[in-house]
Amino acid sequence: MAEDKQPKAKHYEQVGRAVESVFASGFANRRRVYGMNFWRGVCFGLGAALGGSIVVAALLYLLSQLTSIPFIGDIAESISNSIDSN
């Protein structure tokens, strides 16, 4: 709880010193940590893009199946027509 009362800048400074001490002690290799974080970011971006594509495809499929419902069918059909025209 005492940590919440410290200003954020002071807290970040303490965290920065702790990280630097880990690198200085030789416990972690800076180049390896940065490389792992880079590849983690690449994989996160690819996963987000793939997951988003799957969700959008599933929603479009569900909309295409709802054309027989009166009000929702009209909306789904207009969305389908706009996608087909592009």
**Tens digits of per-residue pLDDT, 43-74?**
999 999 999 999 999 988 887 777 777 777 77
So what's the pLDDT on residue 84? 80
Q: Is 28 helix (H, G, I), strand (E, B) or coil?
A: coil
Q: In angstroms, rounded to a whole number, what is the distance separating the alpha carbons of residues 48 and 55?
A: 10
Q: Are 66 and 59 in contact, with CB atoms under 8 Å apart?
A: no
Structure tokens at 33: 């940590």
Q: In angstroms, rounded to a whole number, what is the distance separating the alpha carbons of residues 5 and 65?
A: 55
Mean pLDDT of the chain: 83
